[in-house]
Structure 1
Amino acid sequence: MEQLELADLPRIDSAELWLKNPHAAFENWQRGIPHANGFLYAERSVRQHCAMWRRFIHFLDAHGLDLGSIQADRVAQFLDGLQSKNGHAAEDSTRRRYLKLLGLVFDHLTKTGARCGGNPCASLHKLYRPPPMKNPGTLASQEDEKFVAAVLAQPPRTWREYRDQAMMVLIIGSGLYASEVIGLEMDQLILDATPPYIHVAAHGKVPERKAPIAPFACEPLRAWLALRATLPLRGERAVFVSGKGGRMLPATLYRKVQAVLKSNGAALRPRGGFGPQVLRNSFLMRQLAKDKPVDVVQQWAGHVELKSTLRYQRLLVNPGGVEAE
């Protein structure tokens, strides 16, 4: 792809052409200006931008407006009225793409003299900016061990207590999603390996991976598996079963985790929630705090993109806690 110098660019169309024939002026302008990397737009991008521009010009014609006088409130009206192909309201990201394109056009129109009132998009960017990314909910610094101690504080007496102990320490000791814990099957546990791990099958956007099992989670898990082997489960493959012998309900898992996180005796200070995701996030934070390579933690977490893992690094305040290996 040929990189262009600004001096080599073709002459941009006049203000008169923009007002008389905005479709032709826009396409000519799109084909002659470089994008942020200094290259001309690809043909596919030009066609897409032209379709977006035609949509905007149709709005202007329908409301008796023109490029030289339209104000911010009318641009916002256009953005808020955008719809997807299925007739539903457009995604916020779609509105931001339109706003970015229109902002560039109106900057150019202001420079060419087609507008005298400035860029109507300038005041709208703060209104359509993406919401700030929420920080992952985690246990407060150095509270992983407190959670594990609270879960294992009392020797289990019933099969449910054996199950609940193993299940909760496994989440904070392996970083599984709640759905992965509920769907976990016996043949996914590789306990005779060094170190032990869970073979997690791909699901949705989460890739196949091996999730390590922390040493503190192994003994409760083996105790539960030994008891589970004595239950009349009729070939059920789920590791953590319900009272009816099938898979647990998500609500049961959430209720068990919340009971510990909210208990006064545990004296925990979870940030950002009280569900199993807090335990998974705490596992990931702990690994990064122990200077595990980010790409390794990304693989353990099942993150498709590295930026998902890097979110946790920003929150590190030396959490300490128990090791994964």
Structure 2
Amino acid sequence: MSWNFYIQQFKSYLQLERSLSPNSVEAYVQDVRRLSQFLDLKKRDIQPTEVADHDIRDLLEFIHEMEMSAYSQARIVSGIKAFFKYLLFEGDIDKDPSELIEAPKLGRKLPDTLSFHEIEQLLGAIDMSKPEGQRNRAMLETLYSSGLRVSELIGLKMNSILEDHGFLRIVGKGNKERLVPIGREALKHIYLYRDTIRCHMDIKPGHEGFLFLNRRGAQLTRVMIFTIIKNLALSIGMTKKISPHTFRHSFATHLIEGGADLRAVQEMLGHESITTTEIYTHLDRDYLKQVILDHHPRS
């Protein structure tokens, strides 16, 4: 059986058994294809069931020489390991050739954040005279108020808003559902958009349920959200490279700086592991250190 056969089976497993998002599935599949392409390049005519650990190590040496970042290398290792674990689980192989392969060590990079003043500057730069202005204000308020991923924002449905309780029903990674609080200011702008702009739009069939729509009445794309934020940053002369995820980082950082419980923030962000959320405690310590330096009489 060919590499394509095993890769297709692996893809189905990720979609059906693991319930991963389309982006995650594509990333895993691409990592396995890299191994297949490398073996072709080296004229090693072997099937996935015949791959040995030295084949994988040779690939890693090859991508390292290409000066690929440690993060990219680590992701490729992760995808390849997942593939061979799947083959082992299915009984296609007796021994996992990736078992002793280690990914490059990664330093913990603290995410960029925006101050509350910078967020207000960005919100203030939105042109509210245009129909999309009210939509953009509602979207950015929601990103900052609830710490959503960009995929969760564009996937928000009209019935995702639990008005009586002040929560959003979010379907996150792996189709896992969670309830996230949303602030009054964000809700106000959502209602303004819904009741003054969206209600007059000609909505494309199949897109009626989505809350945020483009000018053609269809669901927004991730690229569109990135573009909106990038243009706003340029309009106020902001030099930081920001993205929708920057609002999510800022949401978490400001909560923890304000004394929020780490477990509560983990729940709101939809992190499976508390260790993912703990990165924000480093930001919190820096903040506390600065408070001491600024205000303690002995500092």
Q: 1:91 aligns with which of 74, 77, 89?
A: 77
* Whole-angstrom CA distance in 1 between matches of 2:226 and 2:253: 21
Are the equivalent residues in 1 in contact too, given 2:125–2:235 (CA < 8 A)? no
Structure 1 residue aligned with 2:32: none
Distance 1:153 1:261, change over 3 A: closer
Distance 1:177 1:202, change over 3 A: closer
Distance 1:183 1:163, change over 3 A: same
* Whole-angstrom CA distance in 2 between matches of 1:312 and 1:269: 23
Q: 1:197 aligns with which of 167, 175, 182?
A: 167
Structure 2 residue aligned with 1:208: 177
Deviation at 1:82, TM superposition (A): 7.4
Structure 2 residue aligned with 1:133: 108
* Whole-angstrom CA distance in 2 between matches of 1:149 and 1:212: 24
Give the alignment's TM-score, normalised by structure 2: 0.59
Are the equivalent residues in 2 in contact too, given 1:262–1:274 (CA < 8 A)? no
Q: 2:58 aligns with which of 81, 87, 90?
A: 81
Distance 1:99 1:155, change over 3 A: closer
Note the residue ranges of structure 1 that are not aligned, 5 or more in a row: 1-75, 84-88, 101-127, 320-325
Distance 1:233 1:151, change over 3 A: same
* Whole-angstrom CA distance in 1 between matches of 2:121 and 2:112: 20
* Whole-angstrom CA distance in 2 between matches of 1:77 and 1:187: 52
Please tell me the residue identity of whatever aligns with 1:275. Answer: S
Q: 1:297 aligns with which of 235, 249, 265?
A: 265
Per-residue CA deviations over 1:287-314 (Å, capped at 9, x if unaligned) read 1111111111000000000000001111
Are the equivalent residues in 2 in contact too, given 1:79–1:98 (CA < 8 A)? no
Per-residue CA deviations over 1:153-196 (Å, capped at 9, x if unaligned) read 56612221111111112101110000011111000012232xx1
Structure 1 residue aligned with 2:243: 275
Are the equivalent residues in 2 in contact too, given 1:148–1:169 (CA < 8 A)? no
Structure 2 residue aligned with 1:231: 201
The reply on whether 1:167 has 2:169 as its aligned counterpart is: no
Are the equivalent residues in 2 in contact too, given 1:207–1:304 (CA < 8 A)? no
Distance 1:91 1:215, change over 3 A: same
Distance 1:145 1:215, change over 3 A: farther
Note the residue ranges of structure 2 that are not aligned, 5 or more in a row: 1-52, 61-73, 82-96, 289-299
Q: 1:318 aligns with which of 284, 287, 295?
A: 287
Aligned-pair identity (%): 21
* SS in structure 1 of the partner of residue 168 of structure 2: strand
Please tell me the residue identity of whatever aligns with 1:213. Answer: I
Please tell me the residue identity of whatever aligns with 2:105. Answer: P
Structure 2 residue aligned with 1:261: 233
Structure 1 residue aligned with 2:216: 244
Give the alignment of 1:62-81 within 5 angstroms. Answer: 80-81=57-58
The reply on whether 1:308 has 2:276 as its aligned counterpart is: yes
* Whole-angstrom CA distance in 2 between matches of 1:221 and 1:99: 48
Are the equivalent residues in 2 in contact too, given 1:147–1:261 (CA < 8 A)? no
Distance 1:169 1:269, change over 3 A: farther
Give the alignment's TM-score, normalised by structure 1: 0.55
* Whole-angstrom CA distance in 2 between matches of 1:238 and 1:78: 46
- Structure with bigger gyration radius: 1
The structure richer in helix per residue is 2
Are the equivalent residues in 2 in contact too, given 1:183–1:238 (CA < 8 A)? yes
Please tell me the residue identity of whatever aligns with 2:221. Answer: L
* SS in structure 2 of the partner of residue 198 of structure 1: strand
Give the alignment of 1:144-163 within 5 angstroms. Answer: 144-153=116-125, 156-163=128-135
